[in-house]
Structure 1
Amino acid sequence: MPQRDFVSKLHKKTTRNYLERVCEHDKIECGTIAKQYGKDYWDGDRRYGYGGYRYDGRWEVVAQDMIDHYGLKPGMSILDIGCGKAHLLYEFKKLIPDLNVCGVDISEWGLQDAKEEVREFLTLAPAQDLPFDDNQFDLVYSLATFHNFKIMDLQKAIQELNRVAKNPAQSYIMLESYRNEAERVNMMYWQLTCESFYSVDEWEWVYKHFGYVGDYSFIFFE
């Protein structure tokens, strides 16, 4: 269960005003609206989430790194749990047209407004009850999703990930976390949807306790 970082280079490109999110807006209202995962979360005011999720091609480098690391080839299958608007799946499909891609999310708005090229491969479904067969996918991954689950749902989501993977070690989870007090406070200020608010060592304990054996990484609010 090694750490493998594919995403932090994108995360670090964004400038964030942590105090503004707390001091200039009603954080309770913002979090309540964000957790509906609707239009406001994806394409509304920045206080509610992404603030307009306009794609600029940034996920191509992540897709290529994952293709190289996991040895993805035409005819293989991948699953994105919490795919949102499916920008990463779009890049996988662009780089390997014969790759079988699937994505699930609980956001109707996100799926309806996903990249048109991969929209047909997306399904409205929760991570805790995936509509797929056992051992179906060559690679299963989830980015910035599992920290949105309470502990009992987190356990179910990890069990489902393991179930649908041909090899549970061939999987990847990226989450928000913290390593020190400054990052903990910044994360507390910035996050809108987080339910499992854990440090790196706590996440590593959770993974071991729930039987996750794949790769993992974190993004930090420095």
Structure 2
Amino acid sequence: MFWRKEPPIVLSIGGSLIVPNGGIDTEFLRKLNAFVREQVKKGKRFFLVAGGGKIARHYRDAGKDVIGEMTNEDLDWLAIHVTRVNAHLLRTIFQDIAHPRIIENYDKRLINWKEPVVIGAGWKPGWSTDYDAVLLAKDYGANLIVNLSNIDWIYDKDPNKYKDAKIIKKLTWEEMEDLVGNKWIPGLNAPFDPIATQLAKKLNLTVIVTNGKDFDNLEKIIEGDVFKGTVILPYHIDASFYDREYYTGQKGAYRIARMGSMTGRIIHAISNFYRALLIKIFLNPKNCLDIGCGTGRLVKYLRKLGIDAYGVELSKEVLELADKQVKPFLKLGHITDLPYQDNQFDLVTTFDVLEHIERGKIKEAIEESVRVSRKYILHKIYTKENLWISLMHAKDFSHISVFTKDYWKKLFSEISHVSVLKNSFFRLPSFIETIFLLKKD
């Protein structure tokens, strides 16, 4: 069934990658062909949206040179037709695995979509192919948009004109609006156009802008490894985001705040005791590390059950909220750089942590949790199957990596020196929670 398949990935392919200087770059297309087919073998699905690039600007310039002034609508139509020629070339390359229809009207949804590749082109004046890519992500549930350009990063100004241009590795949509403005101009050369920026901001999407010719780097993006490229996010998500308000107020998106009310404290106390009891019954480790421990409630109950438990937390503000009796067992630290030795704990846990990690650091975070464990690693993750979340949570903007259960299963299976266990821990149905138990080889 469709919902069991991995969500599609949208690749917005700059036209200047396809036709850089008046001639088609067949070497780029060969590499793109090989890359997409290899990823399809791994179960990935793609929307490939073709841009117009330099050749589209050449057509617009030619028209203006001959007749003088042209309307913005006429200029846009020239570019749209260039994107459709580029899209048809991509459709020809992927004809055996692509949907037969090239998307040129984004109001018409695909019916009985089964193919792993779909090609998209320009639609109508005033909307760029960046905007079309955002529409596809919205309509088909894509969890990743990668804008393939001829630059490695977004800069604070044009690096071709200014030697002191600075790399921007991460920015919010509001900051992106300040950079590119809020008005569409035909032929605008921007890393992500203003109209697409406004829609992506409204939808709280994450977009990565990177060099389209570096396919090794593109694979790292898709696989959740460390990569080169600028990440555009709805908000800055760092230690400062997880403050007192996140745990005690509505910022954490709980219908009932964890610590802001007596009811919330009781519910979360029961939840943590339940988790501690299951760990004691099914795994009974001598010692345990809880990553993203918050105020240390799980650590507290594990220690009461006779387990030598410790916690590590990103937020200093949150650690200050911990009970005095548990504070000595908690440390400040980040999941990608844990302040512990190799093979130090029988069990390492994360509860609702990995969905807060940006895509490029997920694999690094998992490998670090494996490093400090000598036996088991348990990850409870919020995934797309967990429908209960709509009952217990409002929108949590720090959930920047919400994927399917199959995505995580595949990722864990690719981590070296561990195996994924199936029946060694009690699990509730997937519409309630998703738990993975790994064993170190």
TM-score (norm 2): 0.38
Question: Is the Cα–Cα contact under 8 Å of residues 33 and 40 in structure 1 kept in the other structure?
Answer: no
How far apart in 1 are the matches of 2:432 and 2:282?
26
Is 1:88 aligned to residue 289 of structure 2? no
Aligned to 1:175: 381
Deviations 1:166-214 (A, max 9, x none): 12xx12000101239xx49959963321121201111111212234535
Shift in CA distance, 158/189, structure 1 to aligned 2, threshold 3 Å: same
Per chain length, whose mean CA-contact separation is higher, i.e. which structure has more relative contact order (CA < 8 Å, sep 6+)?
A: 1
Shift in CA distance, 47/134, structure 1 to aligned 2, threshold 3 Å: closer
Query: 398, 406, 418: which one pairs with 1:201?
Result: 406
Query: 129, 135, 141: which one pairs with 2:343?
Result: 135
Matched pairs, number: 185
Query: 321, 324, 327: which one pairs with 1:113?
Result: 321
Is 1:60 aligned to residue 266 of structure 2? no
Secondary structure of the 1:55 match is helix
Is 1:153 aligned to residue 361 of structure 2? yes
Backbone CA RMSD of aligned residues: 3.2
How far apart in 2 are the matches of 1:116 and 1:27?
41
Secondary structure of the 1:104 match is strand
TM-score (norm 1): 0.71
Aligned to 1:49: 253
Give how far 1:219 is off: 6.4
Secondary structure of the 2:419 match is coil
Secondary structure of the 1:210 match is coil
Corresponding letter in the other structure for 2:401: S
Give how far 1:152 is off: 2.2
How far apart in 1 are the matches of 2:276 and 2:389?
31
Give how far 1:33 is off: 8.4
Consecutive unaligned residues in structure 1, runs of 5 or more: 1-25
Shift in CA distance, 190/220, structure 1 to aligned 2, threshold 3 Å: farther
Is 1:37 aligned to residue 250 of structure 2? no
How far apart in 2 are the matches of 1:149 and 1:175?
11
Shift in CA distance, 175/198, structure 1 to aligned 2, threshold 3 Å: same
Secondary structure of the 1:109 match is helix
Corresponding letter in the other structure for 2:299: L
How far apart in 2 are the matches of 1:185 and 1:113?
25
Corresponding letter in the other structure for 2:378: Y
Shift in CA distance, 220/38, structure 1 to aligned 2, threshold 3 Å: farther
Secondary structure of the 2:374 match is coil
Consecutive unaligned residues in structure 2, runs of 5 or more: 1-201, 205-233, 434-441
Corresponding letter in the other structure for 1:64: L
